[in-house]
Amino acid sequence: MAALFTDPTFLLLAAVITAAGVVRGMSGFGAGMIIAPVAGAIYGPQWALVIVVVVDALPILPVAIPALRIATWREVTPVAIGTLLCFPLGIAILTAGDPVALRWLICAAILACVAVLWSGWRYRGPRNAAVSGAAGGVAGVLSGIAQIPGPPVIAYWMASGLPAVLVRANLLAYFLVGEAISIGNLWAAGLFERGPVMIGIAAMPFYFAGLMVGWRLFGLASDATYRRVTFLLIVVAAVLAAPVWDGLLKG
């Protein structure tokens, strides 16, 4: 593992992961959408998925566990079930797809998700177990491809009419359950190879450091400012990690 800390590609990823940690600490979301495209460009989509899961596995615990007591489980459960059922579809797409095509798909999906969230669009249709399960299903597919379950669930729950504290608790509870679903599916698919797991473990301190900075910055500006910074960094990461740059760099 020590050799990683002299590897320029890992140090580049570590810098991105640190920035993602700051974003997560400030706004509560967005880390996966920053890390996934860059890690995919450096190590490939399959390794990127494992790296994101490993990096985010421990930091989510201290903030998510207290939320379990106040989360509205009648809202969380059908979404989580949808994710559980559809996550394997995302894994199948990931393992069967061409790596370059998958990188394009991941970058496009992230940019589309940012566009939806940045526009302020919220789901206004019926709210029942079937619709909740469908929202979770979309999140599950995105999780299986690139570990980016947040946008469809955020867009769905932000229009739920629940108090903000309950929406936040639901999201944290869902992300914790989703982490367990991700780990179980990656294990079953045999994707927990030594290489990406070690990279994820080595990157954890950088992510923690970023989280600490983000938490300290929280409250120094408005929520709108945090969200604008988050969206901007996500867009930059997705655009710069797009395969279009590969030929330019090699040329």
**What contacts 79, CB < 8 A, 6 or more positions away?**
132, 133, 135, 136, 139, 153, 156, 174
Residue 10 — very low, low, confident or very high, per pLDDT cuts 50/70/90?
A: very high
* pLDDT for residue 28 is more than 90: no
Structure tokens at 170: 């639901």
Residue 2 — very low, low, confident or very high, per pLDDT cuts 50/70/90?
A: low
Residue 206 — very low, low, confident or very high, per pLDDT cuts 50/70/90?
A: very high
- Cα–Cα dist 133/87, whole Å: 12
- Cα–Cα dist 116/119, whole Å: 5
Whether pTM > 0.75 for this model: the answer is yes
Contact by Cβ (8 Å): 61, 117: no
**What contacts 244, CB < 8 A, 6 or more positions away?**
none
Of 44-58, 120-134, 237-251, the poorest mean pLDDT is in: 237-251
- Which position has the token pair 């910055």? 217
Q: What is the pLDDT of residues 144-181, one digit of tens each?
A: 988 888 778 888 887 777 777 788 788 888 988 999 99
Residue 137 — very low, low, confident or very high, per pLDDT cuts 50/70/90?
A: very high
DSSP annotation of 160: S
| Domain spans, the chain | 7-250
Name which of 28, 7, 57, 73 is nearest 197 in CA terms: 57
Structure tokens at 35: 């890390």
Q: How would you class 204 by CB atoms within 10 Å of its CB: exposed for 0-12, middle for 13-18, buried for 19 or more? A: middle
Within the chain, residue ranges assigned H as helices are 8-27, 31-43, 45-57, 60-64, 73-96, 99-119, 129-146, 150-157, 164-188, 194-217, 223-240, 244-250
